[in-house]
Structure 1
Amino acid sequence: MANNNNLQLDELDLQILDLLIKDCRTPYLEIARICHVSGGTIHVRMKKMEDMGIIKGTRIILNLPKLGYDVCCFVGIFVDKTSSFNYVFDEMQKIKEVVELHITTGAYSIFAKVICKNISDLQELLMHKINTIDGIQRTDTFISLNQPIDRNITL
């Protein structure tokens, strides 16, 4: 949030965001009480931050292993040429196991986070979905063993 001045956020906006980062289910009236303003003010501020694109929505965070998804991986993707990027993005969008996609610097053109139920599903994903996409030259896969830090940025 380096460009706060361009985004026209004030201390109240930042305080609201900080409270929501800690618990996005905090009711507007509770936020209002903590911030010493009215519930209507919180509603207006939230709408403003949504309109500005600062708040992009809300999400539920699932405990994936409890749902049977035990494998989290990162796939480094080498794209054969720049003109292939949009096609690769479109095809990767269709794969439900791909939960994040990043254009990167360094060794890989793209870095994808994928979630699978098991190693067999990962193998199927790599061999028959990702590596068959035209424009992908090759991939490197990194299996996550543990995630000791999982947090949002604090303001």
Structure 2
Amino acid sequence: MTSIDRLDAEILGRLTANARVGIAELATDLGVSRNTIQQRIRRLEDVGILRGFRPIIDLSAVGMPVQALISLELDQRRMAEVVRGLAALPEVIEVKLQAGREDLLVHVAIASLEALQPLTASIVDIEGVRKTTSTFSVGTPVPYRLQPLLDHLTEGSGWGRSTPLPT
């Protein structure tokens, strides 16, 4: 496990909020050199903490306003086959492996509530799927965020070996 310090946390938080922020702007805002920012980002990429920069897409704006989470119970011997089948469905955004009663959690985006039934039928048709349970996302009271976690992880640390936190 690689540790991060307060400066890393600030860089990651700002990139999470706006991946298009420039190196010079980050350096100015954080009171460090551009070189420091570039080296920190490179290190965060090299050790696998920072794994890319992605746009945030409003699925409603592209005609997929309904999101659902579908929990699947599987025949464990068919896990790879089920995952391949799910990956072939364009509505599937993400599949997470779970511990517990259900084996997989499938995040899907669909155009309407009515579209869930045929999608669920397609999922049930995948050999190895035993049972599905669907829930709908009706809002996002806490959107995806990392800064509170990053702050917690770096509580009490400075910015590198000798740089104190800015005041």
Note if contact 2:69-2:108 (Cα within 8 Å) is conserved in structure 1: yes
How much identity, in percent, do the aligned residues show? 28
What is the deviation of 1:147? Answer: 2.1
Q: 1:61 aligns with which of 31, 49, 56?
A: 56
Letter in 2 for 1:26: V
- Who is 1:87 aligned against? 81
- Who is 1:142 aligned against? 135
Matched length: 148
- Who is 1:73 aligned against? 68
What is the deviation of 1:35? Answer: 2.1
| Correspondences of 1:1-155 after superposition (within 5 Å) | 6-80=1-75, 82-127=76-121, 129-154=122-147, 155=150
Report the Cα distance in structure 1 between the residues aligned to 2:29 and 2:140, rounded to whole angstroms: 32
What TM-score do you get using the length of structure 2 for normalisation?
A: 0.81
What is the deviation of 1:71? Answer: 1.2
Return the structure number with greater relative CO, CA threshold 8 A, min gap 6. Answer: 2
Runs of 4+, deviation exceeding 4 Å? none
Report the Cα distance in structure 2 between the residues aligned to 1:91 and 1:43, rounded to whole angstroms: 41
Secondary structure of the corresponding residue to residue 85 of structure 1 = helix
Which stretches in structure 1 are left out of the alignment for 5+ residues?
1-5
What is the deviation of 1:119? Answer: 2.5
Letter in 2 for 1:76: S
What is the deviation of 1:39? Answer: 1.5
Which moves more between the two structures, 35-44 or 46-55? Answer: 35-44
Report the Cα distance in structure 2 between the residues aligned to 1:15 and 1:102, rounded to whole angstroms: 28
Note if contact 2:59-2:65 (Cα within 8 Å) is conserved in structure 1: yes
**RMSD (CA atoms):** 1.6
Secondary structure of the corresponding residue to residue 7 of structure 1 = coil
Note if contact 2:13-2:146 (Cα within 8 Å) is conserved in structure 1: no
Letter in 1 for 2:22: P
Letter in 1 for 2:65: D
Report the Cα distance in structure 2 between the residues aligned to 1:25 and 1:152, rounded to whole angstroms: 17
What TM-score do you get using the length of structure 1 for normalisation?
A: 0.87
Secondary structure of the corresponding residue to residue 73 of structure 1 = strand
